């Protein structure tokens, strides 16, 4: 939120200059006097704006800046690789420590704070205020009640409603009756604690300062003791407020599914949650950054962000982030459409830890929802994920979204480039700007070693190169939560250069002809699936909330399409033979299940585990999988008399059937063909490949660990003067699954270095 507002900045005296005043230790009341030429209110007389000394700034930002010291070497490696891939773009980046060292830190203090009289006095901490700037889409009460004058209205000194300022200042002023702080006692506010709010603490007339602070914003927010979130456009009724307050009493020691709220109360929670999620704050890029860059709120209960909304009587209603999550879990776990898809996806974006939160969270969380070492609430692990999560939010400067993603992913770089959009009301210009953002993000991701960007399956980027419009080889993400969850690759990328029009890299070409399953194999597959009830098996979710949500999703899907897809996949395995079937089950278990998230919760006093890493492909008692596996193996003349029947054949086949008939396997339903990879019987499931098209996999994606990436590139030759000079994308990228590591043998798999691949031909 680094932009000027036409509604909240006080009118300036032409003879006074804000930059001069704001860069010194300055009594705020003096500043207001000179800027507005009006009498001060009683509230204004109670605080001052102070520019902190370097010693105080260093002390307050030290812990959050520690990662810079450790990341200097890493940022140097990123820039070095970027310079090799695309020197022009590399010149647009600088190291993050430059921004932090050059950015001033100003805080608001209430009168009586020793720092006002003694600039060397140590500042213990500061709180920070997150709110949504006012604009054409929201006009709040711009005039505080104590400022009302029918003949001479004057602007308010803080850019938020008067009631919220009173609520924030109460703990800092003597002899005040401070209400409970969201179900826990209010912590003692240090006497020398400041308040940071952007419109007052950043010089809005200094563009260079604003750029520096954009780069340092993550450190400023992560260093705050407490984050307060002001939702000025949300009003909660007295009945809703009463239910929310009672939820705090029920929350203690209980999961939300144990609350047993009556339907009337549930209805009130549904409407209140929907109104909160409609707040402008939830749709702004910088607001999302402020929430997702602070220390993860489920790690330290006492430091969780505190939401503030308006009550029906003009009072301030306090709702902690923790309670909002419990309400979300309660509503999403109940049958019925209690939360709209838009609100569900939006809130999930906020509660999912950003990369920086996943990296720097405390090891012992008070609500540890997962024991997986790399995830918490399916936490993000990549820069590409942060770009995908940030892009849908609103922001007038598209380049700011790049910096937000850099901050959230812990990449210590600042981008100095620009993405120009003349008219934000023109969807075509906005889409073009987003493509430019994704292009810069692709360069950053590859420089960082995030190779899943080579398997993104969203639309190809529409870019300009030398004034000519092109369809790039680079793509938008389709679903970054699944496409880009891999940690960075630390070895050789086998990529030599990247431009908007082409990528030059080493490729592994699959020379075998792809095969569609025969009618006989399809009939055999159908017989097994139909006879043993595997078409309609119950998806084995352990978690009630996940199950309820998925079942709602299934109502929108065509079951016949799913039946056809699983029939084709099983038919491919029937044709591929038992020597492919056995290792495929192990590979799927390793790459889909063992790498899936494992969440933990307490239910009825017992620890419960759930998530893909627990229940994907699991087989329940009473299901007919053993008989189905026996029937499948009989096709290959293998039965219970075969040596090692149970361990080598029956159990792996049951596992395979459990996985491919789990409805969550539907993401792989594009696989309709199989292709031999070596003389040992190994094959791969792939999508549709037409005659004359070539199959290639980037060398860096050849390993089993890249199974979940759409790594198969379908290409067409570019021939000039009888020679192949490059390749053009023929269709979207595809999965290549159920196979071991691709190893060049000169027959089935052939390695070709420094191949240029261009984007698709424009339609």
Instruction: Tell me the β-bridge partners of 695.
Output: 510, 714
The tokens of 717 are what?
């030759």
Rounded-to-integer distance, Cα 364 and Cα 495, Å = 40
pLDDT of residue 763: 66
Higher pLDDT, 407 or 673: 673
Q: Of all residues in the chain, what percent carry a pLDDT higher than 90?
A: 44
Q: Which pair of structure tokens corresponds to residue 208? A: 């260079």
- pLDDT score of 135: 66
Give the pLDDT mean for 534-538: 88
Span 155-180, pLDDT tens digits: 456 788 878 888 887 766 555 544 54
- Report the alpha-carbon distance of residue 229 to residue 266 in Å, rounded: 25
Structural contact between residues 486 and 451, judged by C-beta atoms closer than 8 angstroms: yes
- For the residues 250-273, what does the mean pLDDT come to? 79
pLDDT for the residue 191: 62
Q: Is the pLDDT of residue 614 over 70?
A: yes
Task: Name the residue among 600, 610, 588, 607 with its Cα closest to residue 540.
Answer: 610
Cα separation, 313 vs 333, whole angstroms = 32
Displacement of CA 508 from its chain's centroid (Å): 32
Residue whose token pair is 């679903």: 479
Query: Rounded mean pLDDT of 532-550?
Result: 80
Least confident of 112-116, 288-292, 343-347, 388-392: 112-116
Listing from the earlier edge strand, what are the strands of the sheet with 683-686?
Answer: 673-676, 683-686, 736-737
Report, as an integer, the average pLDDT of 362-375.
36
pLDDT higher than threshold 60 for residue 758: yes
How much is the pLDDT for 156?
52
DSSP 712: B
Supply the pLDDT for residue 41: 59
Q: Is the pLDDT of residue 360 over 80?
A: no
Mean pLDDT of 39-44: 59
Q: 333-358 in b/e burial notation, b at 16+ Cβ within 10 A?
A: bbeeebbeeebbebbebbbbbbbbbb
3-state secondary structure of 706: helix
Residue 396 has pLDDT above 70, yes or no: yes
Residue 179 and residue 632: Cα distance in Å, rounded? Answer: 68
The model's pLDDT over 684-724, given as tens digits with 9 standing for 90+, comes to 999 999 999 999 999 999 998 887 789 999 999 999 988 99
Mode of pairing for the β-strands spanning 736-737 and 495-498: unpaired
Please, are residues 735 and 720 in contact by the beta-carbon 8 Å criterion? no
What whole-number distance in Å separates Cα of residue 74 and Cα of residue 109? 38
Q: Is 3 a residue whose pLDDT tops 70?
A: no
Helices (H), 491-535: 519-531
Most confident of 57-71, 393-407, 440-454: 440-454
- Mean pLDDT value of segment 557-572: 93
Please report the pLDDT score of residue 616 as a whole number: 85
What is the model's pLDDT at position 189? 60
User: Measuring CA to CA, which residue among 758, 71, 81, 72 is closest to residue 443?
Assistant: 81
The CA distances from residue 314 to 89, 240, 317, in Å, are 51, 14, 9
Q: pLDDT class for 495, splitting at 50, 70, 90?
A: very high
Going by C-alpha positions, the residue among 310, 288, 312 that lies closest to residue 233 is 310
Instruction: Give the residue among 401, 483, 386 at the shortest CA–CA distance from 436.
Output: 401
* Half-sphere CA count of 397, side-chain side, radius 13 A: 17
Residue 73 pLDDT: 75
Sequence-distant (6+) residues with CB within 8 A of 634 are none
Cα–Cα distance between 759 and 68 in angstroms, integer? 37
- Paired tokens of 39: 């009498």
Enumerate residues 6+ apart whose C-beta is below 8 A from 595. Answer: 613, 708
pLDDT in tens, 435-489: 999 999 999 999 999 999 999 999 999 999 888 999 999 999 998 877 877 778 8
pLDDT number for residue 153:
37
Q: Assess contact for 518 and 575: CB atoms under 8 A.
A: yes
Enclosing H/E stretch for 6: none
At residue 257 the predicted structure's pLDDT band, cuts being 50, 70 and 90, is low
| Spatial separation of the C-alpha atoms in residues 671 and 666, rounded to whole Å | 10
Closest to 194 measured CA to CA, from 225, 157, 229, 217: 225
Q: Which is it for strands 460-465 and 413-415: parallel, antiparallel or unpaired?
A: unpaired
Handedness of CA 52, 53, 59, 65 (dihedral sign): positive
Q: What is the mean pLDDT of residues 74-90?
A: 94
Q: What is the mean pLDDT of the segment spanning 323-331?
A: 86
Nearest to 283 by CA among 439, 391, 152, 178: 391
- Residue 382, pLDDT score: 84
Question: Per-residue pLDDT averaged across 109-128, rounded?
Answer: 87
Identify whether the C-beta of residue 734 lies closer than 8 Å to the C-beta of residue 710. Answer: yes
User: What strands lie across the sheet with 194-196, from one edge to the other?
Assistant: 47-51, 106-110, 194-196, 126-130, 226-236, 306-311, 316-320
Residue pointed to by tokens 């950015």? 103
> Tokens 């025969």 map to which residue?
518
Residue 289 burial (10 A CB sphere; 0-12, 13-18, 19+): buried
pLDDT category at 633 given cuts 50, 70, 90 is very high
The pLDDT, as a whole number, for residue 24 is 35
Query: In whole angstroms, what is the distance from residue 4 CA to residue 279 CA?
Result: 20
More confident of the two residues 215 and 663: 663
| 375 vs 439, more confident | 439
DSSP 225: S
- Residue 378, pLDDT > 60, answer no
CA separation for the pair 539, 445 (Å, rounded): 35
Query: Can you tell me the mean pLDDT for 519-537?
Result: 95
Using CA atoms, how far apart are residues 605 and 609, in angstroms rounded to an integer?
13
Tell me the pairing of strands 93-95 and 673-676. unpaired
Strongest mean pLDDT among 63-72, 411-420, 739-748: 739-748
pLDDT digits (tens, 9 = 90+) for 191-249: 678 999 988 898 888 888 887 887 788 889 989 988 999 999 999 999 999 988 888 76
Cβ-based burial of 38 (10 A; exposed 0-12, middle 13-18, buried ≥19) = middle
Q: Residue 678, exposed/middle/buried by CB under 10 A (0-12, 13-18, 19+)? A: middle
pLDDT higher for 334 or 350? Answer: 350
Average pLDDT of the segment spanning 365-382: 45
How buried is 647 (Cβ within 10 angstroms: 0-12 exposed, 13-18 middle, 19+ buried)? exposed
Among candidate residues 739, 702, 707, 704, the one with its CA nearest the CA of residue 584: 739
Between residues 345 and 298, the one the model is more confident about: 345
With CA atoms as reference, report the closest residue to 85 among 385, 442, 403: 442
SS3 call for 603:
strand
Q: What value does the mean pLDDT of the chain take?
A: 82
Residue 522 has pLDDT above 90, yes or no: yes
Cβ-contact 342, 278 below 8 angstroms: no
- Nearest CA to 81 out of 452, 386, 495 is that of 495
């Amino acid at each position: 939120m680094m932009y000027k507002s036409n509604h909240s900045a006080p009118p300036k005296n032409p003879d006074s200059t804000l930059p001069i005043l704001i860069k010194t230790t300055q009594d705020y009341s003096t500043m207001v006097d000179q800027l507005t030429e009006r009498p001060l209110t009683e509230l204004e007389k109670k605080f001052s704006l102070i520019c902190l000394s370097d010693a105080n700034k260093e002390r307050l930002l030290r812990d959050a800046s520690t990662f810079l010291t450790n990341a200097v070497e890493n940022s140097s490696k990123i820039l070095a690789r970027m310079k090799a891939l695309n020197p022009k773009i590399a010149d647009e980046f600088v190291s993050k420590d430059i921004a932090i060292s050059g950015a001033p830190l100003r805080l608001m203090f209430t009168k009586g704070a020793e720092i006002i009289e003694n600039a060397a006095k140590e500042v213990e901490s500061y709180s920070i205020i997150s709110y949504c700037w006012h604009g054409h889409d929201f006009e709040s009460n711009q005039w505080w009640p104590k400022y009302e004058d029918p003949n001479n209205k004057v602007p308010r000194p803080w850019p938020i409603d008067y009631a919220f300022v009173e609520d924030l200042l109460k703990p800092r002023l003597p002899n005040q009756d401070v209400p409970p702080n969201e179900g826990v006692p209010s912590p003692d506010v240090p006497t020398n604690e400041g308040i940071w709010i952007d419109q007052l603490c950043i010089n809005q007339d200094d563009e260079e300062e604003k750029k520096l602070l954009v780069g340092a914003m993550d450190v400023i927010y992560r260093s705050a003791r407490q984050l307060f979130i002001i939702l000025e456009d949300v009003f909660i009724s007295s009945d809703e407020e009463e239910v929310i307050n009672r939820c705090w009493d029920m929350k203690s020691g209980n999961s939300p599914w144990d609350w047993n709220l009556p339907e009337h109360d549930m209805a009130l929670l549904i409407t209140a949650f929907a109104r909160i999620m409609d707040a402008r704050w939830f749709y702004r890029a910088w607001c999302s950054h402020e929430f997702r860059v602070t220390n993860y709120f489920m790690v330290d209960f006492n430091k969780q962000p505190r939401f503030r909304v308006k009550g029906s009587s003009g009072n301030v209603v306090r709702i902690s982030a923790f309670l909002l999550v419990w309400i979300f879990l309660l509503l999403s776990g109940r049958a019925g459409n209690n939360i709209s898809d838009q609100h569900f996806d939006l809130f999930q974006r906020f509660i999912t830890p950003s990369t920086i939160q996943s990296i720097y969270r405390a090891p012992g969380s008070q609500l540890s929802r997962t024991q997986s070492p790399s995830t918490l609430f399916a936490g993000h692990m990549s820069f590409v994920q942060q770009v995908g999560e940030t892009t849908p939010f609103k922001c007038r400067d598209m380049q700011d979204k790049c910096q937000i993603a850099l901050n959230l992913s812990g990449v210590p770089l600042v981008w100095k480039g620009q993405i120009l959009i003349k008219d934000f009301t023109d969807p075509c210009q906005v889409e073009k700007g987003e493509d430019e953002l994704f292009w810069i993000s692709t360069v950053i991701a590859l420089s960082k070693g995030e190779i899943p960007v080579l398997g993104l399956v969203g639309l190809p980027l529409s870019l300009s190169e030398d004034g000519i419009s092109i369809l790039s080889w680079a793509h938008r993400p389709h679903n970054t939560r699944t496409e880009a969850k891999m940690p960075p690759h630390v070895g050789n990328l086998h990529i030599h250069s990247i431009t908007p029009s082409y990528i030059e890299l080493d490729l592994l070409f699959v020379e075998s002809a792809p095969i569609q399953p025969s009618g006989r194999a399809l009939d055999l597959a159908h017989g097994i699936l139909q006879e043993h009830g595997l078409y309609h098996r119950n998806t084995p979710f352990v978690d009630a909330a996940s199950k309820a949500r998925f079942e709602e999703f299934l109502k929108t899907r065509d079951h016949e399409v799913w039946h056809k897809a699983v029939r084709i996949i099983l038919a491919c395995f029937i044709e591929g033979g038992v020597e492919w079937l056995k290792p495929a089950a192990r590979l799927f278990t390793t790459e889909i299940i063992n790498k899936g998230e494992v969440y933990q919760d307490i239910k009825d006093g017992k620890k419960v585990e759930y998530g893909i890493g627990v229940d994907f492909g699991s087989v329940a008692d009473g299901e007919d999988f053993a008989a189905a596996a026996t029937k499948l193996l009989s096709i290959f003349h293998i039965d219970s008399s075969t040596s090692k029947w149970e361990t080598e054949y029956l159990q792996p086949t049951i596992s395979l059937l459990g996985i491919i008939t789990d409805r969550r396997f539907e993401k792989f339903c594009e696989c309709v063909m199989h292709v031999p990879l070596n003389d040992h019987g190994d094959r791969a499931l792939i999508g549709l490949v037409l005659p004359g098209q070539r199959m290639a996999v980037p060398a860096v994606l050849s390993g089993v660990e890249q199974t979940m990436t759409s790594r198969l590139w379908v290409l067409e030759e570019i021939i000039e003067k009888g020679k192949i000079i490059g390749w053009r994308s023929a269709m979207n990228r595809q999965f290549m699954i159920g196979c071991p590591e691709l190893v060049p043998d000169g027959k089935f798999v052939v390695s070709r270095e420094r191949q240029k691949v261009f984007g698709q031909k424009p339609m």
